[in-house]
Structure 1
Amino acid sequence: MEVFFRIIKFGLTGLLGMAIDFGATWLFKEKIKVNKYVANAIGFSLAVTNNYLINRVWTFQSTNVHWGTEFSKFLIVSLIGLGLNTFIIYLFHQRKNGTNFYVAKFFAIVIVFVWNFLANMLFTFK
């Protein structure tokens, strides 16, 4: 039952991170007029930092005193997840008569959610 609640907490944290990512990207791109790729990197970075902090305290209740190493592991897992997301979308969408982009993105989100949760539970916050 504990794993079920961790999955729920991880998912809620991810939703908040997505809102932060989109919100910050929009703010920096549209209002502050930063280059769209820089704005995207800022949004991603803020979301990853937020997600690490909430997952450390709330989801996994980590007491690891080496938070810098722990954050580095979380960042690596997140970057691999980003790469997987892009690769899965490419595989599903780019084939001849490929899957609709947003359907492909949905599949990618589900697969990467499982990857991120398991990798963080077994590697980052073990």
Structure 2
Amino acid sequence: MRKWLSFIKFALVGVVNTSIDFIVYAILTWFNVNYILAQCISYSAGVLNSYIMNRKWTFEQKGKGRKREFITFIGVNLITLVMTSCLLTLFYKHLGLSLWISKLLVTAVCMGLNYIGTKKLVFTKWKERRTSL
């Protein structure tokens, strides 16, 4: 049950992050910012919120964050950003889907990857990480 609660919390934080991401993306693309640059900026805005909310609420980390934790978090999210940008280009430019449908599909696909990376690599102790991989 605890594993599911963690995923449910992650998903709820994801709704907030995605809302931030989509609002920033909409504003930027409305001003004709390139869709990949808009994706990078909007995704980064959601990531900042994600770190704070997931650290404190989802994974219930106590005390001050460690440098390793934050750097690993950024690394996981950079990998996710690269994947979202590639998939966005694939869906939008190569498959001809609308930009917003592409954005929704990309968000759905990459949420699971991000959860696994965040749970297994970021908010775990080194000893726990070695045994869970």
TM-score (norm 2): 0.69
CA deviation map 1:74-117 (0-9, x unaligned): 1111111111112223344544xx26244444332222111000
Matches for 1:78-117 after TM superposition, within 5 Å: 78-95=77-94, 98=95, 100-101=97-98, 102-117=100-115
CA–CA distance in 1 between the matches of 2:39 and 2:103?
A: 17
Q: Which residue of 2 aligns with 1:18?
A: 18
Pairing 1:125–2:126 present: no
CA–CA distance in 1 between the matches of 2:103 and 2:23?
A: 19
CA deviation map 1:49-85 (0-9, x unaligned): 2110110011011237552221111111111111111
3-state SS of 2:56 partner: helix
CA–CA distance in 1 between the matches of 2:81 and 2:102?
A: 14
What is the letter of the counterpart of residue 46 of structure 2?
A
Deviation at 1:46, TM superposition (A): 3.3
Q: Which residue of 2 aligns with 1:76?
A: 75
What is the letter of the counterpart of residue 115 of structure 2?
F
Q: Which residue of 2 aligns with 1:56?
A: 55
Q: How many residues align?
A: 121
Deviation at 1:48, TM superposition (A): 1.4
What is the letter of the counterpart of residue 97 of structure 2?
N
Gap runs ≥5 in structure 2: 125-133
CA–CA distance in 2 between the matches of 1:39 and 1:100?
A: 18
Q: Which residue of 1 aligns with 2:8?
A: 8
Native 8 Å contact 2:88 2:106 kept in 1: yes
Native 8 Å contact 2:39 2:85 kept in 1: no
CA–CA distance in 2 between the matches of 1:77 and 1:105?
A: 19
What is the letter of the counterpart of residue 21 of structure 2?
D
CA–CA distance in 1 between the matches of 2:114 and 2:83?
A: 10
